[in-house]
Every structure is written in C-alpha cells, then in structure tokens.
Amino acid sequence: MRQSVLCNRQTACLFIALSMLSACVTGGPPHRASVAGAEEAVRSTELAFAKAMADRDFNAFVSHLSDDAVFFDDRKIQHGAAEVSAAWKPLFSDAKAPFSWAPDHVEVLASGDLAQSTGPVIVNDKVVGRFNSIWRLEAPHTWRIVFDKGEPVCADTKR
C-alpha cells in the first residue's frame, strides 16, 4: 500500500512538472520562423517606403510614419509625423528623387514588434551614406517607422 501511494505521488509530481514546463515552452518567445516572417515584412515595408520617394508619392511616404516618429538630419531633429512630413516635403518637389535607399540588413526582436533596417543611401549610382531605421509593429501587419538616422560614408583613408 505504501509503495502504491509513493508511486501515485511521484506520478502526480511528474505530471505537474511536465505541465509547468509545457506552459513555459508555449508562452516563450516566437519561433525563429515567425521572426523571419517579421524580418521579411519589415524589409518589404522599408522597400515600399523607399518606393514612395522614388515614385514621388508624398502621401504614401507619410503613411509609413509613426505618429511619434523621430528623424535626425545634419541640422536638427524632427519630432512627430507632422514635423517629419514638413521637413521631407521639399524633397518631393522635383520630378526625380534626390536619393534612394534599400535595406541590406533587417533584425527583429524576438517579441516580433520592434525592428531595425539598415542599408546604403545612393545618389547618382554612388553610395554616399547609410540609413538606420527603427520600425514598430503598430497593428497587425502594419509596421511604421519610429526612428530614422543616416550617416555619411566614411572618407577613403588610403594614402
């Protein structure tokens, strides 16, 4: 009898431990496949953002901005979609975009709701800088840019 109670107690403890472990596993971070899917979504969104500039579609450009976006440039920092839009509006006045960009690397947090994209900035087929953008998942399937900062390419130091 005592051996039967001991066996039932061990079985119950094992069942509880496995149940707890199962809860931990299913409640953890998303699988790499879902992060890879988010990386592709951010890459596609960044490309659409750049295409808005190339197509001279200011409204499409603005639709990618988070309400609380922060953009850095050489002279100042724009806070909020309204300031960013006002600062970038003149860049849409000519028939041809003054520059282009495309991501060459995207990383997404394991939580799946924040990402960074980075890549070259190109003027007249020459790489002149590198952009770094932070994207936030603001609604299902809706990534918006929250931070953007570009840097010039370092000068050639060969002598």
Quick: pLDDT tens for 83-117: 999 999 999 999 999 999 999 999 999 999 999 99
Q: Residue 150, SS3?
A: strand
Residue whose structure tokens are 């850095």: 72
Q: What is the CATH topology of the domain spanning 31-152?
A: Nuclear Transport Factor 2; Chain: A, (3.10.450)
Quick: pLDDT tens for 4-49. 444 455 544 434 443 443 344 445 444 555 888 999 999 999 999 9
Give residue 66's pLDDT band: very low, low, confident or very high (50, 70, 90). Answer: very high
Which one, of 37, 58, 33, 70, lies nearest residue 144 by Cα? Answer: 70
